[in-house]
């Protein structure tokens, strides 16, 4: 019996390897078109919830590939499409996010952004391209698909301001039923990454994650990612008579420094925490004491209870400092994205696909970082695996981190993204029977 099982396992592995080889040949043929698509999306970046052109490009391409079951306008500009394989079986989902960032691109590539001040600085252009690549590949090779695949193209991953009312992105997609009818038995997502902190060491080492490599964590993948807006309210006065007013700028300056003390002096140093103020606006004129300062920022934590304590401490700090100077404050705190927890069993079962596609040494476990991603909303409903696609290439100068004006991806990574995702999906459908 045991030898029979081993024999079956060996036959399964051989079949998967044969399939990888067939896929790899197809991907090589598809590659020039995929690069064209990626560059088209990259040069036409769109801000969260404004992905009209990108969504149209996605839907049009899916139609060209023969997809008939395509839903558009989901959660704003989202697109959801179903592919039915040659055999009946479970459903598995692939998610790609479509939005870009308000950053001015500094590279002068032929495919640089044509939208002033907007840039694909988080690689979502590559994510969409990889998902379209998987759609094309599996549509061509339905005989290898033992079930169905739901492709989810999502708007607004980069989040709306803390003051935005209502839900957006993945949370809204889930609320609008993208994980129902049929409910996928698992969901996979990838994210481009130029570097990671390897799990093999606790030293502060960042390592490039190169094109051809994949990074993963087996459980907690990233942080709870929140946003806040603070308004400090003072009282206006002539700049020459500050004592007649309450200087909101001076109070805000003290508050910015004191908020940093929460991390350094008020919380356990073993609990990861980031409090960053990313924007500050206030004042009207050089010789007027400012009446109002608005600040915005983000808080990152791993632990949810700890996070609640931090919010309380922020209130305490703001209350104390404003009271000391006769000012007032308001804080709008929004728990934005919960941390991603990869399903351990799904990760374990998927790694062999990645190792086949990339080679053993190119599949790298890393330590969770303080980033946030709304893939977590899907992974709260069905088992999820969010992995990183290496895009760095030192010779070509692709070494910059995401959310910076020099970010760019080695396009060779698209081949790995398509191959790894397709192998993960097909392995899953082979393995899990309804
Ligand atoms: Zn991002
Ligand atoms: Zn991103």
Distance of CA 385 to the CA centre of its chain: 12
Element (H, E) at 195: strand 195-196
State which of 283, 307, 337 marks the end of a domain.
Answer: 337
With vertex at residue 279, the alpha carbon angle to CA 340 and CA 77, rounded to the nearest 5 degrees, is 50
From the list 136, 157, 226, 373, the catalytic residue is 157
| CATH of residue 215 | 3.40.630.10
Tokens representing 422 are 């397709």
Expressed in angstroms and rounded, the spacing between residue 157 Cα and the centre of ligand 2 is 7
Domain count, the chain: 2
- In this prediction, residue 233 carries a pLDDT of 98
Asked if residue 273 and residue 138 are part of one domain, the reply reads no
Expressed in angstroms and rounded, the spacing between residue 157 Cα and the centre of ligand 1 is 7
| CATH of residue 238 | 3.30.70.360
> In terms of Cα–Cα distance, which of 93, 128, 157 is closest to 375?
157
Question: Residue 389 pairs with which residues in a beta bridge?
Answer: 192, 214
- Catalytic, 308? Answer no
Write b or e for each residue in 384-396: b if 16 or more Cβ atoms lie within 10 A of its Cβ, otherwise e.
Answer: bbbbbbbbbbeee
State which of 290, 316, 337 marks the end of a domain.
Answer: 337
DSSP state of 380: T
Asked if residue 359 and residue 241 are part of one domain, the reply reads no
Element (H, E) at 37: helix 2-43
Asked if residue 280 and residue 266 are part of one domain, the reply reads yes
- In this prediction, residue 203 carries a pLDDT of 80
Per-residue confidence in pLDDT tens, the chain, 434 aa: 667 667 777 777 888 889 999 999 999 999 999 999 999 999 999 999 999 999 999 999 999 999 999 999 999 999 999 999 999 999 999 999 999 999 999 999 999 999 999 999 999 999 999 999 999 999 999 999 999 999 999 999 998 877 788 999 999 999 999 999 999 999 999 999 999 999 988 787 889 999 999 999 999 999 999 999 999 999 999 999 999 999 999 999 999 999 999 999 999 999 999 999 999 999 999 999 999 999 999 999 999 999 999 999 999 999 999 999 999 999 999 999 999 999 999 999 999 999 999 999 999 999 999 999 999 999 999 999 999 999 999 999 999 999 999 999 999 999 999 999 999 999 999 998 76
**Dist CA 50 CA 124 (whole Å):** 14
Starting from the CA of residue 402, give the closest ligand: 1
Helix, strand and coil content of the chain, in percent to the nearest 5, comes to 40, 25, 35
Asked if residue 308 and residue 189 are part of one domain, the reply reads no
**Dist CA 150 CA 178 (whole Å):** 9
Element (H, E) at 229: strand 224-233
Asked if residue 411 and residue 310 are part of one domain, the reply reads no
Asked if residue 252 and residue 187 are part of one domain, the reply reads no
From the list 97, 99, 247, 410, the catalytic residue is 99
DSSP state of 339: P
What is the CB neighbour count within 10 angstroms for residue 91?
Answer: 23
Expressed in angstroms and rounded, the spacing between residue 123 Cα and the centre of ligand 2 is 6
Asked if residue 349 and residue 319 are part of one domain, the reply reads no
Whether 83 contacts 148, CB under 8 Å = yes
Asked if residue 347 and residue 198 are part of one domain, the reply reads yes
Asked if residue 201 and residue 268 are part of one domain, the reply reads no
**Dist CA 181 CA 63 (whole Å):** 21
State which of 316, 337, 358 marks the end of a domain.
Answer: 337
Expressed in angstroms and rounded, the spacing between residue 11 Cα and the centre of ligand 1 is 41
**Dist CA 372 CA 369 (whole Å):** 9
The sign of the torsion formed by the CA atoms of 281, 261, 313, 221 equals positive
What is the domain range of residue 155? 2-222+339-431
- In this prediction, residue 146 carries a pLDDT of 96
Asked if residue 43 and residue 109 are part of one domain, the reply reads yes
Asked if residue 321 and residue 256 are part of one domain, the reply reads yes
CA distances from 50 to 46, 100, 235, 373 (A): 6, 9, 38, 19
- Enter the pTM of the model: 0.91
Question: Residue 235 pairs with which residues in a beta bridge?
Answer: 246
- Catalytic, 99? Answer yes
Expressed in angstroms and rounded, the spacing between residue 31 Cα and the centre of ligand 1 is 25
- In this prediction, residue 159 carries a pLDDT of 83
Asked if residue 262 and residue 347 are part of one domain, the reply reads no
Tokens representing 406 are 């020099």
């Amino acid at each position: 019996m045991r030898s029979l099982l081993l024999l079956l396992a060996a036959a399964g592995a051989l079949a998967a390897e044969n399939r990888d080889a067939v896929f790899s040949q197809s991907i090589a043929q598809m590659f020039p078109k995929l690069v064209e698509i990626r560059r088209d999306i990259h040069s036409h970046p769109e801000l969260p919830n404004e992905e009209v052109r990108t969504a149209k490009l996605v839907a049009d391409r899916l139609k060209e590939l023969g997809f008939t079951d395509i839903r558009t306008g989901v959660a704003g500009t989202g697109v959801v499409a179903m592919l039915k394989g040659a055999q009946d079986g479970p459903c598995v989902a692939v998610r790609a996010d479509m939005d870009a960032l308000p950053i001015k691109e500094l590279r002068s590539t032929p495919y640089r952004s044509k939208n002033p001040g907007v840039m694909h600085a988080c690689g979502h252009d590559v994510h969409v391209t990889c998902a379209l690549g998987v759609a094309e590949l599996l549509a061509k090779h339905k005989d290898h698909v033992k079930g169905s695949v739901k492709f989810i193209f999502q708007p607004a991953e980069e989040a709306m301001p803390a003051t935005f009312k209502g839900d957006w992105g993945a949370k809204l997609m889930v609320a609008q039923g993208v994980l129902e009818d049929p409910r996928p038995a698992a969901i996979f997502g990838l994210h481009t990454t130029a570097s990671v902190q390897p799990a093999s060491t606790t030293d502060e080492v960042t390592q490039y994650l190169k094109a051809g490599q994949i990074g993963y964590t087996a459980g907690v993948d990233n942080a709870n990612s929140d946003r806040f807006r603070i308004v400090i309210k003072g009282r206006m006065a002539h700049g020459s008579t500050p004592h007649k007013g309450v200087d909101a700028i001076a109070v805000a300056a003290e508050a910015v420094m004191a908020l940093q003390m929460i991390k350094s002096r008020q919380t356990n140093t073993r609990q990861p925490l980031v409090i960053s103020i990313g924007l500050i606006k206030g004042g009207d004129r050089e010789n007027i004491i400012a009446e109002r300062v608005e600040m915005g920022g983000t808080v990152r934590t791993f632990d949810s209870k700890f996070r609640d304590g931090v919010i309380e401490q922020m209130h305490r700090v703001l209350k104390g400092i404003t009271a000391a100077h006769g000012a007032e404050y308001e804080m709008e705190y929004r728990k934005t994205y919960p941390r991603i927890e990869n399903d351990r069993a799904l990760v374990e079962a998927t790694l062999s696909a990645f190792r086949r596609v990339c080679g053993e040494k190119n599949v790298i476990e890393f330590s969770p970082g303080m980033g946030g991603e709304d893939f977590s909303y899907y992974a709260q409903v069905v088992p999820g695996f969010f992995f990183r696609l290496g895009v760095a290439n030192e010779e070509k100068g692709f070494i910059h981190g995401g959310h910076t004006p020099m970010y760019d991806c080695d396009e060779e990574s698209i081949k790995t993204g398509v191959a790894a995702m397709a192998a993960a999906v097909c392995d899953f459908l082979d393995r899990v029977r309804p």
